Structures are given as C-alpha cells and as structure tokens.
Structure 1
Amino acid sequence: MSLFNSHRQLNLPAAIIAGGAAGIVSGLVKLGWENVLPPRTEARDATNPPQTLLEQFGIPAEVTHATYHYSGHSLPWVSYVIHFGFSTTFAVLYQIIGEKIPAVKKDAGTWFGLAIWFAFHLGLMPAMGTVPSAKDQPKEEHVSEALGHIAWMVTNDLVGAEVYRRLVAEKNK
C-alpha cells in the first residue's frame, strides 16, 4: 500500500467546499464541547487565547473583546471569527491532504486532531506566550483540549467525507 493515493483524482473545488462545510459544523461541535468540559478557568477565559493572540499582534483590547448580544448574552464575535477561521482552515487542509495521503485520515482523523492539539496547545501557543507552558496548564485543560480536538477532527472527517462524496457524485451524474 502506498502512502500517496496517486490513482484517485482530487476534485479541488469539492474538497474546499466539503472542508469549509465540515469546518463550520466541527467549529460548532468544538464550542459545544467546551461548554460541557471548559478547558480554562473563568479567570483565564476573561481574555481567551484567540483574544490574547490578536493582542500580541497589536490589536487593541476594545477590538479583541468586541461582542454582540443575543438572548441576554454578550458573545465574543472576534473570538468566533478566529475560532471558525482556524476550524475551517484545518478542515479544508485535512480534506485536501487526506484525499491524496489517506494515512492522514487514519482512525477518522483522531491522530490528526491530536497532532493539531499537540502542535498548537503544547507547542506554538506556549512558545509565543499566548497560553501558559504545557506543564503550567491544568490537567483539566489538557483533557478538554485533547478530547475536544478528537471530537472536532472526527466531525471534520465525517462531514467532509460525506459532503465531498455527494459533490463528486453530482459532478459525475
């Protein structure tokens, strides 16, 4: 078995659409996951990692903490833009790369999701000072983020594969 699937033709527009749809759905799943198992304390979430990252790039707090109001709640729309941007970007990449390198999709993306968690939450963001070092993060944060990244990527895998399959089938009718 080859690492690369050179026999399969990639339908790039379908992969981008499928990944984009999957990224939106999986972004909602990840937000829901964090409501059930919050990764951070309320104090650490007062300025969440997307807001911290933007502030590190010089964007003022009045922008990073901008909210919209719905049903009596103030919701951080700027954080949601970063959240869904990250989710859809990686879902599209996963869909495209996974069509050419099937090993990426092993175990419905579980390992890919864990690799993203490890790279960002234990590597890049601590190195940038966006979040505390891995050893200084509470174990609850590791559990929530690791399992949340698995749920996120399995959702990308399932939704992306089905949307891609349907788009390619439509084209071939």
Structure 2
Amino acid sequence: MAKFNIWSAVAAGTAAGIVAGMVKMGWENILPPRTPARDATNPPQRTLEMMGISPEAAHATYSYNGHDLPWPSYLVHYTFSTGFGIAYTVLGHYFPIIKTGHGLFFGLAAWAGAHLYTLPKMGVIPAAADQPVEEHVSEALGHMLWMWSIDAIGNTFYERMTALHQDQD
C-alpha cells in the first residue's frame, strides 16, 4: 500500500470540491431550494452582508450571454465546496468512518449541521421548522449528491496521482 501523500489529497480534494460545486449548482437548477423571493438575497449574499460587506458588493454580478450572474455568491459557494472537498479527502484517510456510504451520510450530516442548525442560528436562513419542505428535500438530496461527487472524484483523482508518483519513483 502506498504511503499517504497529503499534497495529493489536497489537490484531489480541491478538484473534487470544484467539480462537486458545479454538481450542486446544477442540482439546484433542477430542484431550487428557495423561492424566488427568498433567493433575492441568497444565503451566501446574506452571509457576506452579515460580515460587513455592503449589499451592493454582496450582490455584484458579471454578465454572460445576457445573464447577470452573482460572482460573490459563487466565490462563497466554491470556497465552501472546495474546503469540504479538501477536508473530506484528507480527514477520510485518518478517519475512514466519515467515508461510509461514499459520502452520502457525510453529505446528510453536512446539510443537517448547516441548514438545520448553524445557518438558522446565525440568522442567515429561517429556523428549520420555518423552511418549506421543498427546501429540505432539495438541500438534503443536493448535499448527498454533492458529497458523493466529492467522494468519487476525490478518490479517483487521489488514486491516479498516487499511481503517477509511484511510477516516477
């Protein structure tokens, strides 16, 4: 068995987090978690505003193909996804139990920890009981798919990088 290479795991987690962030955004186009009114200021924008960023900056956009796209939201979204991708890939080596179910259980735990507890406590989103069932369904399933993607992509990328390093040795 090859020696664990933390830098390969960080690279794998980074790649997995970026791609899984795209998966999660795609999922939310199929099953939007929030109503249009609640999405007028989405959770990343609200978080930025709570950190002292002006509403104008938190809602800044760039234009592509006639669409105004919220780049600060994307920055928060991908930072979060990449951070979890790295943590999952590295910590999964030391604590393999977190990889039980190929990320599905970890994704469900991440959803519960963030959307049922932390974000409501921070005032970013309504209390869990005040969120519509559609939000719970979209976020729970979306987080499971997101972490499953991190698991699949991170593991594959790490295995290939490790094999590449072994071939070079």
Distance in 2 (CA, whole Å) between partners of 1:54 and 1:24 is 20
- Residue identity in the other structure for 1:153: M
Q: Answer yes or no: is 1:14 the counterpart of 2:12.
A: no
Mapped to 1, the partners of 2:19 and 2:165 lie a distance apart of 23
Q: TM-score, normalised by structure 2?
A: 0.97
Query: Where does the alignment leave 5 or more consecutive residues of structure 1 unmatched?
Result: 1-6
Select the residue among 113, 116, 129 that pairs with 1:119.
Answer: 113
Aligned to 1:4: none
Q: TM-score normalized by structure 1?
A: 0.95
CA–CA distance in structure 2, aligned partners of residues 9 and 91 of structure 1:
20
The answer to whether the 8 A contact 1:8-1:100 is kept is no
Q: C-alpha displacement at 1:101, in angstroms?
A: 1.4
User: Is 1:172–2:166 an aligned residue pair?
Assistant: yes
The structural deviation recorded for 1:102 is: 1.3
Checking the alignment, whether the CA contact within 8 Å between 1:14 and 1:164 is kept in structure 2 is yes
Deviations 1:60-95 (A, max 9, x none): 011000000001000000000000000000010000
One-letter amino acid of the structure 2 residue matched with residue 133 of structure 1: A
Q: What displacement does 1:9 show?
A: 3.3
Aligned partner of 1:27 among 21, 35, 39: 21
Aligned partner of 1:87 among 76, 81, 86: 81
Q: RMSD of the TM alignment (CA)?
A: 1.0
Letter of the 2:123 partner, please give it: G
Q: In the superposition, relative to structure 1, how do residues 8 and 123 fare at CA in structure 2: closer, same or farther (>3 Å)?
A: farther
- Mapped pair 1:38 → 2:39: no
Q: Which runs of 4+ in 1 moved over 4 A?
A: none
- The residue matched to 1:130 in structure 2 has which SS? coil
1:58 matched to 2:52? The reply is: yes
Contact 1:16–1:96 (CA under 8 A) maintained in structure 2: yes
Pick aligned residue for 1:75 from 49, 52, 69: 69
Unpaired segments of 5 or more residues in structure 2?
A: none
Q: Percent identity?
A: 53
Q: Which is further off, 100-109 or 85-94? A: 100-109
Q: What letter is aligned with 2:154?
A: G
Partner of 1:172, secondary structure, is helix
Query: Aligned pair 1:100/2:94, yes or no?
Result: yes
Paired residues in the alignment total: 167
